[in-house]
Amino acid sequence: MNDELADPHEGGGRTLASPCCASKRTGGGAPAAATGAAVAGAEAVHKSPPRAADTKGLLALSGGTFLMGTDDPDGVPEDMEGPVRPVVVDSFEIAATPVTNEEFARFVESTGYRTDAEWFGWSFVFHLLLAPSARPHVLAGTVPQAAWWLAVEGAHWAAPDGPGSSVQGREQHPVVHVSYRDAQAYCEWSGTRLATEAEWEYAARGGLPQARYAWGDELTPNGQHRCNIWQGTFPTANSADDGFVGTSPVTAFPPNGFGLHDVAGNVWEITAEPWRDLWGRVLPSERVIRGGSYLCHDSYCNRYRVAARSRTTEDSSSGNTGFRVAR
């Protein structure tokens, strides 16, 4: 799915798009509201943030051969989840959780870094999560077939629901409104990197060969929720049976067999992997994202399955996309 929205900063020609439940910017460049000087400054910060020691402990995985992908009939053919194939992964380390607001705040305090959402001046907020104070900041335009995404001026990682909101009380929630470029800058500062897609899936499977979910084949074993996804009628009513409407603390649900939390639901996780089309050609401005988010629902986006995948552009940001680090 690749729904489009006319850029609220321009009269036409440039579009925004929403693959699955993760919105993205498309068309390259910055909106008109971002000046050339601001874009140049963003590029400089992206390239050389001040360096710091790694502040996050990582899980060491020995690697090996595993069966990647799925032939699940509920898979999404255009996402190229299959075929199932053996893949070899070398030993590596990966974070137990996505990067949190608290961790990202330390990075910003240390470097003065400004995210793409801040440089562009807006980001995507899910309509039910919009702060009342942010209503005047909703930009014109809707995403066809995905009108639940609002382009909100002033929405960024520290104001995730728009102006007037904050991350106070959400320090242990995953950071959102971050782009691939923001994630790369954080990794450079912390002495880490993003995982490859194969590493991410190997870690997310937790040693369960070809299981549908990171914990097995049943979504709610013994009636227990194992991830933060949508319950109810998407996109108008979330019953929050799992305890959450938006993001949740990164350790709110049990870890998988390798000790990783949140590899299903909560937030999409940006990987290092460039997206390839059906013919194997690299789309250099797009990256693979994995894991699904709190907006995933069987009726619309069942990408909380461990083999599911989607994509985003390198400058995209939204209220349901974050990242975890590896090394």
pLDDT number for residue 52: 52
pLDDT band at 23 (very low <50, low <70, confident <90, very high): low
pLDDT number for residue 284: 83
Name residues whose C-beta falls within 8 Å of residue 181's C-beta, 6 or more positions apart in sequence.
46, 116, 314, 315
100 versus 280: the higher-pLDDT residue is 100
Q: Is the peptide bond before 163 cis (omega within 30 degrees of 0)?
A: no
Give me the percent of the chain exceeding a pLDDT of 90.
Answer: 75
Domains along the chain with CATH numbers: 57-121+170-321 (3.90.1580.10)
Phi, psi of 243 (to 5 degrees): 100, -5
Per-residue pLDDT tens over the stretch 246-264: 999 999 999 999 999 999 9
Whole-number Å distance between alpha carbons of 197 and 80: 13
Token pair for residue 85? Answer: 């194939």
Per-residue pLDDT tens over the stretch 58-73: 999 999 999 999 999 8
pLDDT number for residue 44: 44
pLDDT number for residue 34: 33
Token pair for residue 248? Answer: 């949740």
pTM equals 0.88
19 versus 207: the higher-pLDDT residue is 207
Q: Which residues pair with 123 in a beta bridge?
A: 152
Name residues whose C-beta falls within 8 Å of residue 178's C-beta, 6 or more positions apart in sequence.
104, 115, 116, 117, 157, 186, 270, 317, 321, 322, 323
Q: How many CB atoms lie within 10 A of CB 40?
A: 9
Q: Which residues pair with 189 in a beta bridge?
A: none
Residue 38 has pLDDT above 70, yes or no: no
Q: Given CA atoms 62, 68, 70, 76 in this order, what sign does their dihedral have?
A: positive
DSSP β-ladder status, 24-25 and 149-153: unpaired
pLDDT number for residue 118: 98
Whole-number Å distance between alpha carbons of 295 and 268: 10
What average pLDDT score do residues 149-169 get?
98
Residue 185 has pLDDT above 90, yes or no: yes
Least confident of 8-12, 115-119, 164-168: 8-12
pLDDT band at 22 (very low <50, low <70, confident <90, very high): low
Q: Which residues pair with 125 in a beta bridge?
A: 150
Pair 175, 157: CB distance under 8 Å: yes
Whole-number Å distance between alpha carbons of 55 and 47: 20
Residue 16 has pLDDT above 60, yes or no: no
pLDDT band at 270 (very low <50, low <70, confident <90, very high): very high
What's the farthest any 2 CA atoms get from each other in the chain?
56
SS3 readout for 92-143:
EEEECCCCEHHHHHHHHHHHCCCCHHHHHCEEEEEHHHCCHHHHHHECCCCC
What average pLDDT score do residues 157-183 get?
98
Q: Which amino acid is at 20?
A: C
Task: Provide the mean pLDDT of the chain.
Answer: 87
Residue 305 has pLDDT above 60, yes or no: yes
Whole-number Å distance between alpha carbons of 116 and 179: 7
